[in-house]
Structure 1
Amino acid sequence: MNWIENLLIIGGVSLDIFATMECEGSVVAKIDKKKLAEISILTVVFQMAVLYLGSLGSGRLMRQEGVAENEILLSNVIAAIIFAGLGVHLIIKAVRNERIYEHRQDTFSWKKILLGIVGTGIYTLLAGFAFGLMEIRMRACILLLGVCSLLMVIAGVYTGYRFGFEQKKKAYGIGAVLLWAAGIDVLIQYVLTRI
């Protein structure tokens, strides 16, 4: 996989982080930069760890001796299905468009943030699982995810603070398109060329 494919996948997953943090930014009276830094660090570390664990779990399956060509082909198909499924779930979240009770809070709600981080971690875990199935080297992906997560937390909080939570629907839609594009690319490059 090249860096563009990795960026599509990580960008799609990171836009879920953006939407989650946008909702939190829309209700705070003032952004506490120290707490935002804590949230950013927590999110980045958690996302990077979850991506690695996901790839580690499926990567062990692929590192067994004697993996046949048809098993590699099947693992690429499963990875494409995972990316497509993640995109479908983001579209469902966009269509469902859960309303946020917008009321000002003095500070961030750690309970909501932790639940949001764990929720987005499920997407990241599945993406890591798909990366492991495709035997992707994870160092660059983990670093890219760390940078994207950091940017999405900050951008999401400030976007929510300035404009409310209405941009989350667009973020989910764009994330879904990025994941679908990655899934189609995997099918074309790694499945159809081997048939």
Structure 2
Amino acid sequence: MNWIENVLIIAGVSLDIFAAMECQGALVAKVDKKQLSVICALIAVWQLCALALGNYLSGLLYRNELAHDENFVGLVIAAVIFFGLGIRLIAKAIKNEWVNERREESLDVKKFLRMTAVTSIYTLLAGIAFGFLGTNVALMLIIIVCMTIAFVVLGVYTGYHLGFQHKTKAYVGGALLLWIAGIDVIVRHIMC
């Protein structure tokens, strides 16, 4: 996969973070830039570790369970992961969880860490898919850090200025990007 496809996949996964940050940004009275920087750093490191761990786990699975001639199985697993992550985002868009609108004085770092722990499960799965696709790990780690920081900041400020009504669009957009990646894996790697 080329770097543009990798960016689109990471953007699809990161749109979940964007939606969560948008909800939190809609609740704060004022965005504290120092606190936002700490949150960006923590979430970026967490996502980086999840993606690296997923890539490592796919390497273990590939070496131990799949014969090198059965690369096809790894490609199918990668496509299934992308489609599954997209379905999860659509389910979140349909569910449209209610946000308890009460003003908070600042961003709660503990709340962000809990949210990031849940989101990192899906980043771990994306890392497994990337491992099966044989992508460049260093490039993926750079992209995940940059995209996570960008989506956290954009999400907080979008919520702060516009409210949280755009979260459903973020979920649908992320699902579409992941489905496009799944179709790309099928067309370019499996059907060839």
TM-score (norm 1): 0.94
Which residue pairs with 2:111 in the alignment? 112
Work out whether 1:92 is the aligned partner of 2:99: no
Unaligned 5+ runs, structure 1: none
SS of equivalent residue, structure 2 residue 72: helix
How far apart in 2 are the matches of 1:156 and 1:65?
A: 40
Work out whether 1:136 is the aligned partner of 2:135: yes
Deviations 1:138-191 (A, max 9, x none): 100110111000000000000000111111100000000000000000011110
How far apart in 2 are the matches of 1:146 and 1:186?
A: 24
Question: Alpha carbon RMSD of aligned pairs, Å?
Answer: 1.4
Amino acid at match of 2:33: K
Work out whether 1:20 is the aligned partner of 2:20: yes
The structure-2 alpha-carbon separation of the partners of 1:65 and 1:80, relative to structure 1 and needing over 3 Å to count, comes to closer
Q: CA shift at 1:61, angstroms? A: 2.5
How far apart in 2 are the matches of 1:68 and 1:152?
A: 37
- What are the within-5 Å matches in structure 2 for residues 33-112 of structure 1? 33-63=33-63, 67-69=67-69, 71-112=70-111
Deviations 1:35-54 (A, max 9, x none): 00000000111101110001
How far apart in 1 are the matches of 2:172 and 2:125?
A: 19
The structure-2 alpha-carbon separation of the partners of 1:65 and 1:126, relative to structure 1 and needing over 3 Å to count, comes to closer
How far apart in 1 are the matches of 2:66 and 2:16?
A: 37
SS of equivalent residue, structure 1 residue 145: helix
The structure-2 alpha-carbon separation of the partners of 1:65 and 1:182, relative to structure 1 and needing over 3 Å to count, comes to closer
Unaligned 5+ runs, structure 2: none
The structure-2 alpha-carbon separation of the partners of 1:26 and 1:74, relative to structure 1 and needing over 3 Å to count, comes to same
How far apart in 2 are the matches of 1:14 and 1:129?
A: 16
**Identical amino acids, percent of aligned pairs:** 49
TM-score (norm 2): 0.96
Contact 2:16 2:170 in 1 (8 A): yes
Contact 1:94 1:172 in 2 (8 A): yes
